[in-house]
Structure 1
Amino acid sequence: MVLIMKEIITVIRPKKVNATKEILVRLGIPSMTAIPVLGRGKQKGIDSEVNIEYRAGILEQNKSGGMKYVPKRYLSIVVSDENVDTVIDAIIQVNRTGQIGDGKIFVCPVEDALRIRTDEQGNDAIN
């Protein structure tokens, strides 16, 4: 039997992590890794994306109208191939605002998974 798994990597707004986690749990996908990251897309960041106070004069120095980097969350979710579309649809449902900065989703093949504690492999290791 060929095990087919995928890693779904998504970069989303920090304030959307809990809602994303909750919808995945409801779908029976309880496992994910979340990492705080900094980045930006072609829009060069969004000043209103973060609720912070700027040092006096900092916005005047930034002639591009954007931020150097924007805080985001990087989520990694490994699922069986049959769950990929459902997980992607759920991530989009929770994170789409129609505004710049909604995030990105990447899907990568996973050859195998191994649970260290029990030696379970493949889908058994991710469920």
Structure 2
Amino acid sequence: MKKIEAIIRQEKLEELKLALDNDFQISGMTVTQVLGHGNQKGVAEFVRGQKVIPTLLPKIVFWLVVDDAQVESITDKIIEICHTGEVGDGKIFLYNVEEVIRIRTKERGTDAI
């Protein structure tokens, strides 16, 4: 099993959730709103006539745990949906998951996903 963690643009979340549900029947994911920056640094904005460059930009981080066989196709789908070609498209991180246990039913492994 693998944990997929992706940092994406906020406006891509709904389209991505719909695609993952329709194409892979993903039963659950964790999503959080975060602030951060990478190469993008910030986009100049004007507030009350003053130029302001925020150093932390709003992003979405989502996590899901999937069977190893699904990792490549899911990451390809994330890239397909979230790619704009502009700085700030995000990153995907993959982690090995030793075990998953569903607390309610005590199921383990892929049954618990």
- The two structures share one fold, judged by TM-score above 0.5: yes
Q: 1:40 to 1:25 in 2, by over 3 A?
A: same
| Offset at residue 43 of structure 1 (A) | 2.6
- State the distance in 2 between where 1:24 and 1:13 align: 16
Structure 1 length normalisation: TM-score? Answer: 0.82
* Identity percentage of aligned residues: 42
Equivalent residue in structure 1 for 2:38, among 36, 41, 65: 41
RMSD: 1.5
Q: How many residues align?
A: 112
Q: 1:111 to 1:47 in 2, by over 3 A?
A: farther
Map of 1:110 onto structure 2: 97
| Offset at residue 45 of structure 1 (A) | 2.2
Stretches of 4+ aligned residues off by more than 6 angstroms: none
- State the distance in 1 between where 2:78 and 2:44 align: 24
Residues 65-122 of structure 1, C-alpha deviations (whole Å, 9 max, x = no match) = x421000000001101111001101100100011111110000111100101000001
Unaligned ranges ≥5, structure 2: none
- State the distance in 2 between where 1:58 and 1:30 align: 46
- More strand per residue: 1 or 2? 2
Quick check: which has more Rg, 1 or 2?
A: 1
- State the distance in 1 between where 2:43 and 2:98 align: 37
* Contact 2:31 2:62 (8 Å CA) reproduced: yes
* Contact 1:24 1:30 (8 Å CA) reproduced: no
SS in 2 for 1:82: helix
Alignment of 1:10-29 (within 5 A): 10-26=6-22, 27-29=24-26
